[in-house]
Each structure stands twice: as C-alpha cells, then as structure tokens.
Amino acid sequence: FCTLLGMLRRSVPALAGAKEAFDYCIARTNPGVGRVHNLMLDHGKGSYVFDADGKKYLDFSCGIGVTNLGHAHPRLVEAVKSQVEKAWHLQVCNGPHTALHKLITGLERIFPAPLNNFTFVTTGAEAVEAALKLSRAATGRPNCAVIQGGYHGRTVGAASLTTSKYGYARGLRPLMPGVTVVPAPYTSQMALAPDADVERMIDQALEQVECLLFQTTHPTEVSMLIAEPTLGEGGYVPLPRRYYKGLRELCTKHGILLCIDEVQTGFGRTGTMFNFEQLVARNSDGSFAEADLPDVVVFAKGIANGMPIAGIVTRNELAAKQLPGQQGGTYAANPIACASASEVIAIMTEQGFLDGVNTRAKQIREGVMNAVASNGLPVMEVRGRGMMLGVQFDASCPAGTAAAVANKACEDGLILLPTSKFETLRLIPPLNVSESEAAEGVSILTDALKAVTGSLPRKEGAFRPCCGPDSQCFPALGACRDVFA
C-alpha cells in the first residue's frame, strides 16, 4: 500500500491551475480522441458552461445535442439525486426495475402506437448496432444501405455505416462489408448549384437509390436502410418529405426495414419530439399513417440530458425475431439514467414547451439571416429544423472557414461546432434558451463571422451575393423552404 501511495504521489501532480490540468489530461489521453476547442471545463449552469478559471461560455453545442435542457436543470438534478439514494445500478438480466417501468410508460406516450418495443443500451453507436442486429434477425438478410453524409457512430459496425467523413475509418479498414451508400438530395454533395431545382434533385436522388440497390447489392440481400432525417455531421441538411416518402415506398416494395436515426434530431431538437413526425403522412384525424412510419427508430443523446442511455424502438413482430442474448449490456437501462430520461420526457411534454423551442429557433434563424444579409457575409444558406441550424459558407470561402469562425466565437464566449466536409457551422442551443441568451449568441456569432470572413482570402469570382443587402433571399433556402419546412 505504501509503495502504491508513493507511486500515486509521484505520478499525479497537484493541479495548480487550468493550464496544468489541461496539459496533464492531454498527455494521458489517446490522441485518437479529437477536439474542436482546447477548453478545460469545470461546470455548467443553464445555457452556460464555465472553465476551470471561471470564464463563462454560452453553450450552443450542448455536448453535440445532448444537454437539450441546459446544464444542471434543477428538476433533473432532483430526479437523479432521488434515484441515487435508491439504487444506481440494477442489471436487467435479473429483471426490469421501477425506474425502467416509468421510462417505458413515458416513451410509449411519445411514440406512435405501433412502435412500442424497446431495446436499451448506453450510447448512440450501440443503439445503431442494436438496430443492425435487429434488422438482420428480422429479415434474414446480411446487407444494409446508408445515406451519403450520414453519421452513425465510431464502433466498427456503426463506423461502417458512417459516411460524413473518412477520418472515422482512416487506417482502420477493413470494416464491415455489405454496405451500400445512396445519395441524399443535397446540392453541395451532388455538385449542383445552390438554386438547383429541388423537385428534380429529389427525383434524381431517389432514382439513384433504387439503381444502387440493384447495382452494388440486391434488394433481397438488404436488411435495412438507415437515415438521419436531418443529416447531422454531414451538414445539418433537412431531408425533404418527398424524399422520405420515396425511401419508405422503396423499403416497403423490397421488404427492407426503414431505420430512422434520431440520435441527434430526437427529443425536441427539431421542434417536434422526433424529426420523423414532420415527414410521416397523417390520417384525416391527425394520427400518423401507420404504413408511412419507420420500422425502427434509434434514439440517444437528448433522452436523458447527459446521462448515458440510448436505445431503439420497433414493432413487436420484428423484435420477436430476436433470440435471448442477442441484445443487452452491463449498463443497459441504468436506473439513474432512466430517472433522468423520465423527467426529461415530463418536461418536454408540458404544454407550450415545443412552442417555445420553435419561437426561439425562429429568433436565432432570422437573427443569423439578417446578420448575413445586412453585412454581405459569404453565406450560401442558413437551414435546419427547430434548434438544429446549419450555416453553410459559399464557395468563395477556403477550407477551414467554419472552424475558424467556431474558434473566434469560442474566444468571445460562444461554443459552436463545425460539421465535416462542407464548410458549415452547426448551432445546437439549449431548447430552453432564453430570448436574451439567444440574442447574445447571435451577436457573438455575427461578430465572429465578420472578423473571420473579412480577413480570409476568398476565391475570385466564386461569391455570388443574394438579392441585395436588404434582402433575406437565399437561393437554396428560397428553393427549399416549402419542402424543408
């Protein structure tokens, strides 16, 4: 014991300040873990996080869309404290627990009735892997299809389905075989002009989906097609309703399960509890058309506001195809995470909550659009759904522009993240951000945009301004507004 204590004293220096703590952690963590910012964070409260020196940052990243209710929400703190005093680990192999029962009853209220069979894990990547196993067991087919630009995780199976950028697979191949990549209707990805005809773009994308299902595999070998309803790291690109409808029809036609990845888009982020609600057709009484629903939905991130829980929901007849032991995990359905998730659902289903989300989203979106128009900033498009907003720079901006703006904003007290291949910033504010906090975020972002784009070299002739400094006419938004609404 004395020897061990001596070793600890030699190897763990007293952390005198933020710089020492930062350097100590970086020296002892795998460089394969990437960073956007070099912050040494200490705590959070509401819409803000604080570093170890006490500097305050308005958090418009929310841990990549996790802390949707902000940091240390008092009701969530109380729910977690209460559960900790009862039990903080109960293994579901011994049977369900009361915290899980409460969570399942809450989830049943927010998912359409046919989707009522749940599998719980701890991370979004695990949930994607669970969906993959379910689809193979339910269909007896080995392959799957993914949308170009999608992000689904970094485990071997999930990384095999990820096409937002190559970095997740670089030097790690071969990954899982049998993955067909199909296009999304995104002008930058399809090398089309920002003002390209949206309906034709959707037609072209869907034609290519079916073509690829026969050229690179065969539909009878494809177990599922997985898609984010709004591309996340791939550019914060909302998929149009008609594109979703086309995917649903193709999957139904060929007996392929349609899996919607709501890891980042779910739990209020896009202005409805789940993004698929904005895409699925409705019956005359307002209920969802059952034939138009996805077969599987993956959820994680915002479900418990930072507590590690994730999962999938599907129909009973599909889940019944699985054998005992094919799903599960040591920490699956952790009771503390379940307690937090139940309280998240209780807060988000209160009357007026989602109306507030959409009000603040409109404020932020219009604030950024006005800043771009009035300052003549080189922005091609401001897009997104709800509080999931992307700001894509035009072709005149060099590579690294989005990261440079994010870094400048961080210096000024606003945390933002870029996306992957295309020069796009993503804005992921807390869903309960206040009006004044939203205005503060737009102001800091505007100053960062002006400072960075005013100093960066631009490609000659590439910048095509919109209709003028007093206009809010953005080519791609103008073309897509009705379809993406």
The tens digit of pLDDT for each residue in 237-276 reads 999 999 999 999 999 999 999 999 999 999 999 999 999 9
Place of tokens 């630009």: 149
Query: Quick check: is 264 in a domain?
Result: yes
Query: Quick check: is 10 in a domain?
Result: no
Number of domain units in the chain: 1
Structure tokens at 353: 């909550």
Q: What is the pLDDT of residue 458?
A: 59
Q: What is the pLDDT of residue 456?
A: 72
Confidence of residue 361 (pLDDT cuts 50, 70, 90): very high
| Helix residue ranges, H only, 154-240 | 156-160, 198-215
What is the C-alpha to C-alpha distance for residues 444 and 446, in angstroms, rounded to an integer? Answer: 5
Query: Quick check: is 269 in a domain?
Result: yes
Exposure class string for 23-59: b at 16+ Cβ within 10 A, else e? eeeeeeeeeeeeeeeebbbeebebbbbbebeeeebbb
Query: Quick check: is 474 in a domain?
Result: no
Query: Quick check: is 230 in a domain?
Result: yes
Tell me the pLDDT tens digit for each residue of 51-97: 999 999 999 999 999 999 999 999 999 999 999 999 999 999 999 99
Q: How many percent of the chain have pLDDT more than 90?
A: 86
Is residue 108 within 8 A of residue 368, CB to CB? The reply is no
Name all contacts of 211-219 with Cβ < 8 Å and 24+ positions apart. Answer: 212/145, 212/180, 212/181, 212/182, 213/145, 213/180, 213/182, 213/250, 213/254, 216/180, 217/143, 217/145, 217/178, 217/180, 219/254, 219/255, 219/256
Q: What is the pLDDT of residue 212?
A: 97
Confidence of residue 14 (pLDDT cuts 50, 70, 90): very low
Question: Residue 259 to residues 136, 192, 263, 307, 407: CA-CA distances in angstroms?
Answer: 12, 28, 12, 24, 35
Q: What is the pLDDT of residue 467?
A: 31
| pLDDT for residue 15 is more than 60 | no
What is the C-alpha to C-alpha distance for residues 448 and 465, in angstroms, rounded to an integer? Answer: 20
Question: Residue 4 to residues 14, 24, 27, 28: CA-CA distances in angstroms?
Answer: 17, 20, 21, 19
| pLDDT for residue 369 is more than 70 | yes
Confidence of residue 463 (pLDDT cuts 50, 70, 90): very low
Confidence of residue 8 (pLDDT cuts 50, 70, 90): very low
Structure tokens at 423: 């020069």
Looking at mean pLDDT, say which of 5-14, 124-133, 195-204, 468-477 comes out highest: 124-133
CATH of the domain at 238: 3.40.640.10
Q: What is the pLDDT of residue 459?
A: 55
Stated as kind and residue range, the H or E segment containing 138 is: helix 124-139
3-state secondary structure of 60: coil
Query: Quick check: is 457 in a domain?
Result: no
Exposure class string for 259-278: b at 16+ Cβ within 10 A, else e? bbbbbbbbbbbbbbbbbbbb
| pLDDT for residue 109 is more than 90 | yes
Judged on CB neighbours under 10 Å (0-12, 13-18, 19+), 236 is buried
Structure tokens at 152: 């689904």
Query: Quick check: is 59 in a domain?
Result: no
Handedness of CA 469, 470, 474, 479 (dihedral sign): negative
Q: What is the pLDDT of residue 63?
A: 96
Exposure class string for 107-131: b at 16+ Cβ within 10 A, else e? beebbbebbebbbbbbbbbbbbbbb
Query: Quick check: is 45 in a domain?
Result: no
Question: Residue 281 to residues 9, 228, 288, 293, 334: CA-CA distances in angstroms?
Answer: 63, 18, 6, 8, 35
pTM: 0.91
| pLDDT for residue 292 is more than 70 | yes
Mean pLDDT of the region 206-229 = 97
What is the C-alpha to C-alpha distance for residues 219 and 221, in angstroms, rounded to an integer? Answer: 5
Stated as kind and residue range, the H or E segment containing 126 is: helix 124-139
Q: What is the pLDDT of residue 454?
A: 87
Structure tokens at 254: 């060929």
| pLDDT for residue 201 is more than 60 | yes
- Which residue has better confidence, 467 or 356? 356
Mean pLDDT of the region 309-334 = 97
Residue range of the domain that includes 324: 77-348
Residue 143, strand partner residues: 222
Mean pLDDT of the region 289-307 = 98
- Indicate the angle between helix axes 98-110 and 335-348, nearest 10 degrees: 30
| pLDDT for residue 103 is more than 90 | yes
Q: What is the pLDDT of residue 473?
A: 33
Tell me the pLDDT tens digit for each residue of 392-440: 999 999 999 999 999 999 999 999 999 988 999 999 999 999 999 999 9
Q: What is the pLDDT of residue 2?
A: 43
Q: How many percent of the chain have pLDDT more than 70?
A: 91
What is the C-alpha to C-alpha distance for residues 121 and 50, in angstroms, rounded to an integer? Answer: 30
Confidence of residue 455 (pLDDT cuts 50, 70, 90): confident
Confidence of residue 6 (pLDDT cuts 50, 70, 90): very low
Is residue 125 within 8 A of residue 161, CB to CB? The reply is no
The per-residue pLDDT of the chain, averaged, comes to: 91
